[in-house]
Amino acid sequence: MTETDSQVSQTSQVYDVVVLGAGPVGENVADRTRAAGLSTAIVESELVGGECSYWACMPSKALLRPAIARADARKVPGLRHLVQGDLDASAVLAHRDDETSHWKDDGQVAWIEGIGAELYRGHGRLAGPRTVTVTGPGGEVTTLTARHAVAVATGTRAQLPDLPGLAAVRPWTSREATSSPSVPGRLVVVGGGVVATEMATAYRALGSEVTLLVRGKGLLPRMEPFAGELVAEALVEAGVDLRTGTSVTAVARERGTVLVDTDHGDRIEADEILFATGRAPRTDDIGLDTVGLAPGSWLPVDDSLRVEGSDWLYAVGDANHRALLTHQGKYQARIAGAAIAARAQGVPLLETDPWGAHAATADHAAVPQVVFTDPEAAAVGLSLAEAEQTGRQVRSVDVEFSSVAGAGLYADGYRGRARMVVDLDRETLLGVTFVGPGVGELIHSATIAVAGEVPVSRLWHAVPSYPTLSEVWLRLLEAYRG
């Protein structure tokens, strides 16, 4: 040991709860445990506020909003002639920077201080049961001991394919796509899911020539097939070069130009390439091996978000692989915080609690999601194929938004579709999907119907306002009644 090594400070502290990760999920766990009077430490190696605030939800929607607003305006008589020009890319990027607080977390740090939690900056690792070591920016080491619980809220990272020489190409992941200081002239996007379709939408609107390479047969494979079909049609109409059934076989960068070879024998040249090919848990270097778990694994949990086989370790948000969505992670955080507090106080977790405050049941049957493309795609619950796979007797009902008066008022030539999937034995909804401009604001009504198991007969008496897009509910119910 050198003299410098011996001078590295080592301290220790004891808290009721230690949270690994200060993204929106970790913040909400800390908020709930502090509200219950439990002393709480929260550890973060990057920016407080996490992926959603700086590289995902907030910056991506800031990039997409002008694109969607212009697309909607171009379909409105008396307005379309005013919005035929290009977007002001500099202004869009500047607004994106404002929404991310210019990648500074002062405000989020102040919030943590305001709830009375203690923030530790550095890399946190488990070091045995109820123990976390934090290595700070200067190499200082702090050992945190949790009296009651450690909550892992470390989220996920982008997963890149195993292509030779890929690192030398300096590919974009979702982080680079949402934080780029400029708009590339030519962009190749690899993937067919949410990140791929949203970023193809945004950068095409900002002026990039976009090529979208999709290994599968279509877009948005986790939604109803018509969702991907309608989004694909719109992307092609916007000028995106969409190629399905296509895989990347090699990629290189020569004199600043990205060269992309496909399994069809094509070579595509671009300025940047974005891989949106999945997510992996950020659990590879958090000391899982010290508590008998496999580094880099997803962490299976019960409905109180406690890791299976443990009485003190929780995994909340993306790390447990239940639903990789910020709003679901925050929901889980509220449940986990309540469960940790109840157990710390010796209060039984009652299954009969009408609020279900200690059980994350919404992760199973009523997970809502919005894809902010043009058109938007929004869904909650099970698709028809998923419902059929459960063995239930089900029926789906589809209607076109053209049957809704509010759609014609929203935009000329409004194109969209809605589907509801009904459990015929119980006559309740198992899933709902909407595709069309502005449908993201409709999905919560569907979430209430699915989560609340509202009988279809009662939905008939939930009268939608006229003339709004919500009248699609009436059309769906009319079609179901026949």
The larger pLDDT score, comparing residue 284 to residue 9, is at 284
Cβ(406)–Cβ(467) under 8 Å?
yes
Cα–Cα distance measured from residue 381 to residue 366, given in angstroms and rounded to the nearest whole number: 4
The amino acid at 380: V
- Collect contacts of 424-429 with beta carbons under 8 A, ≥24 apart: 424/392, 424/393, 424/394, 424/395, 425/392, 425/393, 426/453, 426/455, 427/455, 427/456, 427/457, 428/453, 428/454, 428/455, 428/456, 429/381, 429/454, 429/456, 429/459
- State the chain's maximal CA–CA distance in angstroms: 83
Q: How does pLDDT run across 66-122, given as a tens digit for each residue?
A: 999 999 999 999 999 999 999 999 999 999 999 999 999 999 999 999 999 999 999
In this structure, the number of other CB atoms found within 10 A of the CB of residue 264 comes to 11
Q: How does pLDDT run across 368-405, given as a tens digit for each residue?
A: 999 999 999 999 999 999 999 999 999 999 999 999 99
pLDDT class for 9, splitting at 50, 70, 90?
confident
Cβ(474)–Cβ(436) under 8 Å?
no
Helix or strand or coil: residue 56? coil
Q: How does pLDDT run across 123-135, given as a tens digit for each residue?
A: 999 999 999 999 9
**Could you identify the residue written with the tokens 């270097």?**
285
The amino acid at 219: L
The pLDDT assigned to 239 comes to 98
Helix or strand or coil: residue 369? strand
DSSP 245: S
* Report field, pTM of the whole predicted structure over 0.85: yes
Cα–Cα distance measured from residue 107 to residue 96, given in angstroms and rounded to the nearest whole number: 17
**Joined tokens for residue 119:** 């923030």
The pLDDT assigned to 352 comes to 57
Cβ(267)–Cβ(259) under 8 Å?
yes
Query: For residue 143, how far is the Cα from the chain centroid?
Result: 32
Cα–Cα distance measured from residue 142 to residue 127, given in angstroms and rounded to the nearest whole number: 11
| For residues 143-166, average pLDDT | 96
Query: For residue 298, how far is the Cα from the chain centroid?
Result: 16
CATH number of the structural domain 166-277: 3.50.50.60
The pLDDT assigned to 7 comes to 65
Task: Quote the strand ranges of 154-205, DSSP E.
Answer: 156-158, 186-190
Cis ω before 66 (30° cut-off from 0): no
**Joined tokens for residue 55:** 């590289």
| For residues 329-343, average pLDDT | 96
The pLDDT assigned to 347 comes to 86
In sequence order, which ranges of 74-146 are alpha helices (DSSP H)? Answer: 89-99, 106-115
Helix or strand or coil: residue 183? coil
Q: Taking 70 as the threshold, does the pLDDT of residue 5 lie above it?
A: no
Picking from 44, 2, 45, 37, the residue whose alpha carbon sits closest to that of residue 17 is: 37
Cβ(369)–Cβ(447) under 8 Å?
no
pLDDT class for 457, splitting at 50, 70, 90?
very high
Q: How does pLDDT run across 105-117, given as a tens digit for each residue?
A: 999 999 999 999 9
Pairing mode of beta strands 257-262, 267-270: antiparallel
CATH number of the structural domain 375-481: 3.30.390.30
Q: How does pLDDT run across 23-74, given as a tens digit for each residue?
A: 999 999 999 999 999 999 999 999 999 999 999 999 999 999 999 999 999 9
Picking from 133, 154, 157, 161, the residue whose alpha carbon sits closest to that of residue 145 is: 133
Q: How does pLDDT run across 199-246, given as a tens digit for each residue?
A: 999 999 999 999 999 999 999 999 999 999 999 999 999 999 999 999
The pLDDT assigned to 1 comes to 41
In this structure, is the dihedral angle defined by the CA atoms of residues 360, 361, 363 and 368, taken in order, positive or negative?
Answer: negative
| For residues 345-363, average pLDDT | 79
DSSP 216: S
Cα–Cα distance measured from residue 292 to residue 308, given in angstroms and rounded to the nearest whole number: 12
Planar angle of CA 274, 197, 319, nearest 5 degrees: 75
Fold of the CATH domain 3-49+105-157+281-362: FAD/NAD(P)-binding domain (3.50.50)
Cα–Cα distance measured from residue 257 to residue 266, given in angstroms and rounded to the nearest whole number: 16
The pLDDT assigned to 118 comes to 98
**Joined tokens for residue 251:** 């990629």
Can 166-277 and 375-481 be said to share one CATH topology?
no
Picking from 386, 351, 85, the residue whose alpha carbon sits closest to that of residue 342 is: 351
The pLDDT assigned to 2 comes to 46
The ranges assigned to domains in the chain are: 3-49+105-157+281-362, 166-277, 375-481
Cα–Cα distance measured from residue 230 to residue 433, given in angstroms and rounded to the nearest whole number: 13
Tell me the average pLDDT of the chain.
95
Cα–Cα distance measured from residue 381 to residue 134, given in angstroms and rounded to the nearest whole number: 39
Q: How many residues does the chain have?
A: 482
Distances (CA, A) of 97 to 58, 181, 266: 10, 9, 36
Cβ(152)–Cβ(299) under 8 Å?
yes
What residues have CB less than 8 Å from 12, skipping those under 6 apart?
Answer: 142, 143, 144, 145
Q: Taking 50 as the threshold, does the pLDDT of residue 349 lie above it?
A: yes
Query: For residue 446, how far is the Cα from the chain centroid?
Result: 19
Distances (CA, A) of 155 to 20, 211, 282, 325, 329: 10, 29, 6, 10, 9
